[in-house]
Chains A and B, each alone.
Chain A
Amino acid sequence: MNANGHDRRLEEVAAYAIGALDPGQVAELERHLAGCERCQEELRWLAPAVGALPEAVERQAPPPELKQRLMAEVRGDAAAEEERGGLGEWLGGLNVGGLTWKPLAGLALVVLVIAGGIGYAVGNGGGSGGAHTTEVEPGANGIAAKVVTEDERGELHLAGVKPLPNGRVLEAWVERDGIVEAVPALFAPDQAGRASTTIESMKDVTAVMVTREPAGGSNKPTTKPIVEVPIET
């Protein structure tokens, strides 16, 4: 390419650097740039000039509400990400629909020990035929849980549940003989953060847990439990 031809290219590089090259010319220039050190050097040279242009703009203070909205979305994303990450770990030992749920063999003991993480369970009553209550104190997410079992019927009560995002419900699950089953009745917290559901049969149940699920519920847990209650058998 002769000098005049390259001057034309250098003009195109300047336009490319500032984002003003006509769209139909971009691909051709990029092909040229890939093999032309002189044009690459020109692009590198001009980049700070283009990058400095916004610094000269009159400074406007963004409204505080903008940051609040942005960070609310970011924190929501981060929480969802954490749930997804935790779910993978949680499901690592969990099989739903006929396979065993290995961690729960020792979960009751673990939950009792890790009081700071999940809470701990307290049983009372417990006489055959009488009511038996198992409580889990608030963990890091502030949710407390109580399962009241009488005869074979159970009532699950939660407190400290934050409002659910649109399109989400609470779904309870029970582990019975190593198999995880969904509790049919979906539920949601009230304005005070309380939520309750009924478990029709607590026979042989060794743990109750709750997850946030899409409206209509899920066939298997899709998020990490917000609470887990080991049941003494």
Chain B
Amino acid sequence: MPWIGRKDAEAFEVFYDRHGGAAYSLAYRILGERGAAEDCIQEAFISIWRSGGRFDPTRGSVRSWTLSIVRNRAIDVLRGRAGKAPKLTFDDEEVLESRPSGELTEEEAMRHETATEVRGALSHLPDEQSKVIQLAYFGGFSQSEIAAMLNLPLGTVKGRMRLGLEKIRGELAEGLA
């Protein structure tokens, strides 16, 4: 993202228009409050703007890099709260995208497809695998914390997490085939 180094505000606006919606949705999913999600996005995107181009294209897409920054920031906020209480639901409806497909651009349509695949993959997971993955990714809990929370042996949590991720990855790979 050479525009970061150039401090090109117009390019940054395009970047926000492209990824801000997904980023805000993720922050809201993790934090469960609109105000906290807005603060999180403001801080995360300003850190990207001021980062001077630390993005490494060999380690993934701009979008996944951006969303990982937002996720980490949101988890930090969550951990900073007294009595960590992430907004976690395990209802499949929670992950449904609400926009009609007719409004999607080609790029968005691909993401919509990815979202559909991930949603499908998550829904196909046994509940116990889906739960540990969601607690880890959206709740920011470590394996040990999840084990304590669910009253499970640590080894069981580790196994479920790996199996669940492998299944999601497998379904994504099938979708690309």
Residues of A within 8 A of B (CB): 10-12, 14-15, 17-23, 45-63, 66-67, 69-71, 73-75, 77-78, 81-82
Contacts and interface: CB of A to CB of B under 8 A. Distances in A.
B122 A66 contact: no
Contact of B75 (A19, A53, A58, A73): A19
Interface of B: 7-9, 12-13, 16, 20-22, 24-26, 28-29, 34, 37-38, 41-42, 45-46, 49-50, 60-61, 63-64, 67-68, 70-72, 75, 94-99, 111, 114-115, 117-119, 122, 133, 136-138, 140-144, 146, 158-159, 161-162, 165-166, 168-169, 172
B137 A50 contact: yes
Given A15-B136, A69-B42, A74-B49, A58 B96 contact: yes
Taking chain A's interface residues, is the majority helix, strand, or loop, or is none over half, making it mixed? helix
26 contacts: A10-B162, A11-B159, A18-B133, A19-B71, A19-B72, A19-B140, A20-B141, A20-B142, A20-B143, A47-B64, A49-B172, A50-B137, A51-B60, A52-B172, A56-B119, A56-B122, A58-B25, A58-B29, A58-B96, A60-B24, A61-B21, A61-B24, A70-B45, A74-B46, A75-B9, A81-B7
Contacts of A14: 158, 161-162, 165-166
Closest 5 CB pairs of A and B: A20-B136, A51-B64, A62-B24, A14-B162, A49-B169
A18 B75 CA distance: 12
Contacts, number: 159
Contacts of B111: 55
Contacts of B71: 19, 54
B28 A17 contact: no
Given A14-B166, A20-B143, A71-B12, 14 more contacts: A18-B136, A18-B137, A18-B161, A50-B165, A52-B114, A54-B70, A55-B118, A59-B21, A60-B28, A63-B38, A74-B13, A75-B9, A77-B7, A81-B7
Contacts of B115: 52, 55-56
A60 B138 CA distance: 16
Given A49-B169, A51-B60, A21 B119 contact: no
A11 B21 contact: no
Contacts of B122: 56
B118 A58 contact: no
B32 to A, nearest CB: 11
Contact of B16 (A21, A54, A55, A70): A70
A46 B162 CA distance: 9
A21 B24 contact: no
A77 B119 CA distance: 39
A52 B42 contact: no
A80 B21 CA distance: 28
A12 B8 CA distance: 40
Given A47-B60, A70-B16, A74-B46, A22 B144 contact: yes
B133 A74 contact: no
Nearest to B20: A62
A23 B142 contact: yes
A49 B168 CA distance: 6
